[in-house]
Structure 1
Amino acid sequence: MASRGSVIPELEKMSVEQLKSIKEQSDMEVNLLQDSLNNIRTATNRLDLASIALNDLSQKPKGKKMLVPLTASLYVPGTLDDADKVLVDVGTGYFIEKTMEEGKDYCERKINLLKSNYDQLLEVTSKKKHIADEAGLVLQAKMKQLASAS
């Protein structure tokens, strides 16, 4: 995070219009970054659920009757044929057949990647929020100064 002393002097040199622009832009970027953080959190939760489902599936015997999801809300009855082979959704409508262990490994690698991206994005979001807050404080001080000068 930038130290308080390194951001304030640059902001204090700016005009009210420039400060408003910086504040609005920073706030907009923070909102977009927050949306991205929420999307990453959702994707991580889905992968966690997929990993749990793979663990459960690996313990089911061959011939086990179950419901097979076709979409998020449509399930059809099915019978487990081979618990060692799974189809992994790799995005954009592509599925790859993998062994159960490869499927579990895929989920874990994706979860670790998403968690790493989440941490990096959280740091960037924090810095942008700090800039927006500092710009807001300097803007308020300048507005008070202008009001008292009138």
Structure 2
Amino acid sequence: MSSSSSQPQTINISDLDLPQLADVKRQLEEEQQHLTGSFQQLKQAQSKFRVCLSNVEEIKPVNKGKTILVPLTNSLYVPGKLSDTEHVIVDVGTGYYVRMSRADATKHYKSKADFVTKNLETLQETVQKKQDNLNMVVNIMQSKIQAAASSSS
């Protein structure tokens, strides 16, 4: 077995013909659409963690015994009394909830938000690279179309 067979082949994109370039363009567009969807989902997760962090920070000892609205879903709230201002119930994913101190919950949500922010930055760079690649393919396609038009004139 030769070592060259395990190496990926490099193809100069300008050597491709128009149908091949169209396929590359379509593939890049699909990848960019998928990455953009993922980016939007991460933005939503980031927003959710920031709201949770804000909610934890709003729980203060002076509010003990006061009536609050407790979220059951994103759009359904029920009245309840705040009996423990030092602990909160945190959704840690896949239907599991953990009782944490406010400080631990704050750390938890900050770390989640920071993690998502880092992933958003990385994903933004990837989306930009895909856009640059797509622009390059479009430019090559346009120059090949122009060259074909001028040679047939």
Give the TM-score taking structure 2 as reference length.
0.88
Paired letter, 2:121:
D
RMSD: 1.4
> Where does the alignment leave 5 or more consecutive residues of structure 2 unmatched?
1-10
Shift of 1:31: 1.2
2:9 corresponds to 1:20? no
- The residue that corresponds to 2:3 in the other structure is none
Give the alignment partner of residue 138 of structure 2, picking from 136, 139, 142: 136
Superposed, which structure 2 residues align to 1:85-96 within 5 Å? 85-96=87-98
Q: Distance in 1 between matches of 2:22 and 2:117?
A: 34
Residues 39 and 120 in structure 2, CA contact (< 8 A), matched pair in contact too: yes
Q: Distance in 1 between matches of 2:61 and 2:28?
A: 50
Which shifted more, 129-138 or 34-43? 34-43
2:48 corresponds to 1:46? yes
Taking structure 1 as reference, are residues 60 and 27 closer, same or farther at Cα in structure 2, changes over 3 Å only?
farther
User: Which ranges of 4 or more aligned residues in structure 1 deviate by more than 2 Å?
Assistant: 58-61, 147-150
Paired letter, 2:95:
G
Give the TM-score taking structure 1 as reference length.
0.89
> Where does the alignment leave 5 or more consecutive residues of structure 1 unmatched?
1-8
How many percent identity over aligned positions?
30
Paired letter, 2:128:
S
SS in 2 for 1:97: strand
Pick 1 or 2: higher relative contact order, CA cutoff 8 A, min separation 6.
1
